[in-house]
Amino acid sequence: MVEERRILYEHLDVPDINTFDVFRQYDGYTRFEKAIAEYQPEEIAQMVKDSGLKGRGGAGFSTGEKWSFVPRDIEPRYLCCNADESEPGTFSNRYVLEKNPHLLIEGILICCYAMGIETTYVYIRGEFTLGKKMLDAAIKEAYEKGYLGKDVRGTGLNIDIYTHPGAGAYICGEETGLIESLEGKRGQPRNKPPFPAVQGVFMKPTVVQNVETLCNLPFIVGNGVEWYTEMGPTYADTRFDPPKPDANTGTKLYCISGDVNEPGVYELDLGLTCSELIEVAGGLRGEEVKAVIPGGSSAPILTHYELDTRLDFTSLTLAKSMLGSGGIIVMNETRNIVDCLLNIMKFYAHESCGQCTPCRWGTPWVRDIVQRIADGDGRKDTITRPKFGVAENGRWGDTGETEEIYEDLDLLESVANNIANVDTMTWNTICVFGIAVSWPAVSYMRKFRPEFEAAIREGKLVTLPVAEATVPPEENYAYQQRFIPKEFADL
């Protein structure tokens, strides 16, 4: 059994760790002090790049690389901490904010020092009232102790952190949506480029990082790059010659929910398999795994054939899914996939910001199709294809083969693919919300097609046994191009 490795969450359950004094007892702020005493800002940025840290918010983009795009000659620069945790199935940031807010402040301080940033906005989703209260209290304490404000610890650095409440819109978790919202507008994402690293909040260079990413920084600085890169697999990207290392280093706060016995946040090295994680979370609640959502509701679903998939950025991308924000939702044999998809499509239809036409109209359309199927009104048709052959009367003629087609399933795929095409990975929308809608819609439908067909045929929701409900990998394009990567050391 895989062991938990608690780094970010190590002191989470220590009583009063949210206060400065207790946090200080557990090496609090020593990593920041080490950073300013021993390293130049550029060295910190280089360390983060070497550590292979990937953004934990969803896209999995290399943090060090993102920092390198920020022009250092334009003042002022900003840091936006994304604490707008709204992806269904994700809840790890909430615990950091509520229980250990000083860790986040330390991460922010290191980032500010490395990037020469003076102002940080922490965008907290509006529903996190307790998290905001705790963070506000911690910030106040840090000001009093001289770790924030003018001339931090006598180093001449000026660093301010402000919290900014959201107001319940999912799209504000998208980085440019967040920036628009922070500027006091509707949270409608911007066209990219220009990327936020060049023109972000108030049109100034902006680093946007997730809470979990920032919380990794103190440990990278404190324990060194070598210590950090030992955790998690590094793969070989064979598109380059010689193969370029593709790092999936560090631990991840896996949030697991749904049909497991002990749902919760588990901090584990990246790269364990799906079935291992279910085992860590107390095993499955039920008889059999029917499906697993590996990275929040926008990630394409995995079937029971794919439980050997490793949960890291590279492996899941190659399995045509994504790690996203690390929200894993497990479903057992009693669940109906049509019903689950309906729930998720209602979510996206509600949360579309309405800026781009394909998404604004497409998301309710997809929802309505799935609703129709779930209500038993799914459209089907029989078509007769002309075919020459020996007819019943023994003479040559049109034998008229009749075939039953499921009109609504084709329509579902067509509408979803016109919001964002999952096969070519091109989207007709400004932001990736489009792909977050069509990914689940198309992948659920392709991988669990028998269950959708049964619902249309029978005129009601039918929950098939797992083996019957799932399309096996060998026969279907639903799993195309799927392969498990090899570790770098093996090559």
Partner 1 sequence: MSDELIQIETPFAFNEENQREFDELIGRYPIKEAAMLPTLHLAQRQAGYITPAVMKHVAELLEVTVMKVKDVVTFYPMFFEEPVGEYVIRVCHTLPCALRDCKVVLDHLKAKLDTDIASETNLAKGTTADGKFTLMKVECLASCDVAPVIMINDDLYKNLTAEKVDEILDNL
Q: 36 vs 359, which CB is nearer to partner 1?
A: 359
Q: Which of 63, 297, 314, 352 binds partner 1 (CB under 8 A)?
A: 297
Q: Name residues contacting partner 1, limited to 108-147 (CB under 8 A).
A: 125-130
In three-state secondary structure terms, 276 is helix
Least CB distance to partner 1 at residue 337 (A): 11
User: Is the Cβ–Cβ distance between 476 and 446 less than 8 Å?
Assistant: yes
Span interacting with partner 1, options 29-37, 165-173, 221-229, 468-476, rule CB under 8 A? 165-173
Question: How many CA atoms does the CB half-sphere of 76 hold within 13 Å?
Answer: 12
Q: 273 vs 355, which CB is nearer to partner 1?
A: 355
User: Is the Cβ–Cβ distance between 267 and 253 less than 8 Å?
Assistant: yes
User: Is the Cβ–Cβ distance between 237 and 243 less than 8 Å?
Assistant: yes
Q: Which of 168, 194, 283, 465 binds partner 1 (CB under 8 A)?
A: 168
Burial class (CB in 10 A: 0-12, 13-18, 19+), 311: buried
How many residues make contact with partner 1 (CB under 8 A)?
53
Residue 123 zone, left/alpha/beta (φ > 0; ψ -120 to 50; rest): beta
Q: Checking DSSP bridges between strand 381-385 and strand 396-398, what pairing results, if any?
A: unpaired
Q: What angle, rounded to 10 degrees, do the helices at 449-458 and 337-351 form?
A: 100
Least CB distance to partner 1 at residue 278 (A): 14
Span interacting with partner 1, options 219-227, 298-306, 310-318, 347-355, rule CB under 8 A? 347-355
Q: Which of 200, 179, 161 is nearest to 74 (CA)?
A: 200
Q: Which of 265, 274, 278, 356 binds partner 1 (CB under 8 A)?
A: 265
450 contacts partner 1 (rule: CB under 8 A): no
Pair of tokens at residue 110: 């290191």
Q: Which of 259, 306, 408, 453 binds partner 1 (CB under 8 A)?
A: 259
Q: Which of 115, 135, 182, 409 binds partner 1 (CB under 8 A)?
A: 182
Burial class (CB in 10 A: 0-12, 13-18, 19+), 281: buried
Q: Which of 344, 359, 420, 422 binds partner 1 (CB under 8 A)?
A: 344
Q: Name residues contacting partner 1, limited to 67-96 (CB under 8 A).
A: 85-91, 93-94
Q: 187 vs 485, which CB is nearer to partner 1?
A: 187
In three-state secondary structure terms, 328 is strand
Instruction: Please state, in angstroms and rounded to a whole number, the distance separating the CA atoms of residues 112 and 128.
Output: 24
Q: Name residues contacting partner 1, limited to 313-342 (CB under 8 A).
A: 327, 329, 331, 335, 340
Give the binding site for partner 1 (CB under 8 A). 85-91, 93-94, 125-130, 160, 162, 164-170, 181-187, 202, 255-259, 263-265, 293, 297, 327, 329, 331, 335, 340, 343-344, 347, 350-351, 353
